[in-house]
Amino acid sequence: MEVGLLFLLQSFFFPGEFLTEKQRIVTYKDSKEMLEIGSFASYFIDTTKKLSCYQIRELSDAQFRPIKGRMINLGFSTNPVWLKFRIRNLTNEPLYLYMEAQEIDFVEILVVGIDSSFRVETGALRSYGSREFNINSIVTPLGNRPQQLYISVQDINRLVFPLKLCAVGPLVDKVYHESLVNALVAGIMVLVILFSFFMYLNLRDIIYLIYAVHVFFSILTMLVFEGYLFEMLWRDMPYLNNSINSNLVRWFTLLSSMAFSVCFLQLKLVLPRIVQAYIVLAILAFMTIPVRVLGFTKAEMWFNMIVMTVFLSYFFTGLWLYRQGFKPARFYLLGWGIYIIEIVLLMLTSFDVLSFGHLYTYYGYQIGSVFQAMFLTLALSDRIQVLRRQAIEAQYLALHYMERNQQMSEEQNQLVGRRLRLLAGTKNHKLERFHQSASTERQRTVRISIATIEGVILCAIPDIVRVEAQGSYTYVWLNNGQKILASRTLSTFEKQLRDYSEFVKIHKSHFVNMDYVSKYQKGDGGRLTLKDGTELGVSRTAKAALLRQLGLY
């Protein structure tokens, strides 16, 4: 009776211990469903590394331990780990095993069914031709009536992956949508690279080249994780899928992100110590690669911790600079903020806190990479605009002081001229001619500022042929044939040129330097012909002033 009571209490408080056999049976009922089967698995670690799949099949159920959680999470293990499933197919469709783990080095599958039994060897370190389907994911047909399934996985990385059971319909949909999303993400990022490289060629700003390199390695990271480089480049060279290559790609992605952030946030000027910290972290991250090859399984964890520390530093450094008044950091914060959130969500799936089946977790890296690329591109554009505005403001300040100096020099020259006339008398024609010649020479050296979209241009007044209004902008023609689009209205130039008698307003939209006029034709208002052959109409209201300037009124 005591034994019966104990059994009753245990079955009430710990039902899983007595229903394990029933729970391990995967029942597939709906041929339109893709069923996650990780929670139905039990596992066995082959510490001898010598057991075959047929020897594993002979092991008792008591030697297998149940998987805890919804997704297979076996941690780090250098030994082969065998997964065992019991399957019941209630549909008439053949079943397929869909393994969403493109980077697992070695995979061995034994299918035991009513209609057939067979063994499959595949994985990232085996030839691409060993796969049943010509796609980047590992898919294995199980037949119509599989009963038992044994799967061996062995990898130097952390063994965390979803495992799904499905019919052919959901499988085709899954592969199609996954390929479509990855192609879309890769296409967007390639456009970002081309745009950044184009901007570098035009602006010669090294930050665009650094950013293009960072996005390039981000694409490579995604292609390595998704198995596309194996599929497209080295099908018959599986040894290139080793952990060294994938970690080197990730390290270069980290290094390029450091270089971009240091350049974009100007950290060498504002926070030089954090630049030194980045150098140390980059060295430490690189050292985890050879350590990992030597068999230290925790090296992957340390590498991920370094990467996450660096990414978080980007966010908090950008936040501090934004609060200090560096406005381009707003898009920088959005880009890294979304990227970090997606990485955290992916980490939560590894600990079975979140399901891997959600859109924002299944495509977490793709979503984070796209938003990062888009917002960092906006941050670069915003940075260029801010720096341009700062440069224009600095130029205007310099011009302001230069104009003040010119005005003071002109006042001093006029004072000298008056004193010369007082000393020599007003009838001294030689002194008059000397003073007039000096005034003309000073006028030739006087320059005005022409504000353009790119910056400010200093131009000598005698070099200006004509000025024409163009809406809110103004065209300025020079005597060398150059045409400048100024980001100022004609009224601004009217104030700048009103003290120079050689400029006459011939129309509400036109100022002309009379030194470049070769001919005047009479008419209602008349027409002017310039020395370069340009003909300009004269308005009736401006005709009287023009004739006075020509001495014909």
Go through the domains of the chain in sequence order and give each one's CATH number: 20-170 (2.60.40.2380), 183-390 (1.20.1070), 446-553 (2.40.50.1020)
Least confident residue range of 102-111, 117-126, 149-158, 544-553 = 544-553
Q: Which pLDDT belongs to residue 399?
A: 59
Q: Which pLDDT belongs to residue 3?
A: 32
Phi, psi of 379 (to 5 degrees): -65, -40
For residues 11 and 515, which has the higher predicted lDDT (pLDDT)? Answer: 515
Least confident residue range of 9-13, 69-73, 92-96, 459-463 = 9-13
Average of per-residue pLDDT across 523-551? 81
Name residues whose C-beta falls within 8 Å of residue 56's C-beta, 6 or more positions apart in sequence.
44, 46, 82, 84, 110, 150, 152
Extract the tokens encoding 150. Answer: 């044994």
Residue 52 identity:
S
Evaluate if residue 23 carries a pLDDT over 60: no
For residues 93 and 384, which has the higher predicted lDDT (pLDDT)? Answer: 93
Evaluate if residue 374 carries a pLDDT over 80: yes
Evaluate if residue 422 carries a pLDDT over 70: no
For residues 16 and 87, which has the higher predicted lDDT (pLDDT)? Answer: 87
First to last CA, the chain: 133
d(CA 240, CA 230): 8
91 to 37, 110, 140, 261: CA distances (angstroms): 17, 21, 18, 55
Q: Which has the closest alpha carbon to 243: 178, 171, 185, 291?
A: 291
Name residues whose C-beta falls within 8 Å of residue 156's C-beta, 6 or more positions apart in sequence.
78, 105, 243, 292, 295, 297, 300
Query: What are the tens digits of pLDDT across the range 182-205?
Result: 889 999 999 999 999 998 888 788
Least confident residue range of 15-24, 279-288, 318-327 = 15-24
Please answer whether residues 346 and 361 qualify as being in contact, where contact means their C-beta atoms are separated by less than 8 angstroms.
yes
Please answer whether residues 192 and 371 qualify as being in contact, where contact means their C-beta atoms are separated by less than 8 angstroms.
no
Q: Which pLDDT belongs to residue 95?
A: 92
d(CA 182, CA 178): 6
DSSP β-ladder status, 146-161 and 138-143:
unpaired
340 to 275, 361, 500: CA distances (angstroms): 20, 12, 62
d(CA 182, CA 363): 9
Per-residue pLDDT band at 419 (split at 50, 70, 90): low
Residue 3 identity:
V
Please answer whether residues 461 and 497 qualify as being in contact, where contact means their C-beta atoms are separated by less than 8 angstroms.
yes
Q: Which pLDDT belongs to residue 397?
A: 55
Extract the tokens encoding 442. Answer: 């000073």
d(CA 162, CA 167): 17
d(CA 342, CA 361): 7
d(CA 103, CA 250): 14
**Dihedral sign for Cα atoms in the order 530, 534, 535, 540:** negative
Q: Which pLDDT belongs to residue 13?
A: 37
Please answer whether residues 151 and 37 qualify as being in contact, where contact means their C-beta atoms are separated by less than 8 angstroms.
no
Evaluate if residue 22 carries a pLDDT over 80: no
Q: Which pLDDT belongs to residue 435?
A: 53
Least confident residue range of 53-57, 181-185, 356-360 = 356-360
DSSP β-ladder status, 25-28 and 72-89:
parallel
Query: What are the tens digits of pLDDT across the range 296-347?
Result: 767 777 888 898 899 999 999 989 988 887 788 888 989 998 888 888 887 7
Please answer whether residues 331 and 375 qualify as being in contact, where contact means their C-beta atoms are separated by less than 8 angstroms.
yes
What letter does residue 454 receive in the DSSP assignment?
S
Give percent helix, percent strand, percent coil of the chain, each to the nearest 5: 55, 20, 25
d(CA 21, CA 17): 9
Neighbours of 488 (CB within 10 A): 16
Helix (H, G, I), strand (E, B) or coil at 523: coil
d(CA 169, CA 299): 40
d(CA 164, CA 314): 37
Helix axes 272-293, 243-264, angle to 10 degrees: 180
Q: Which has the closest alpha carbon to 152: 190, 117, 194, 123?
A: 123
What letter does residue 78 receive in the DSSP assignment?
E
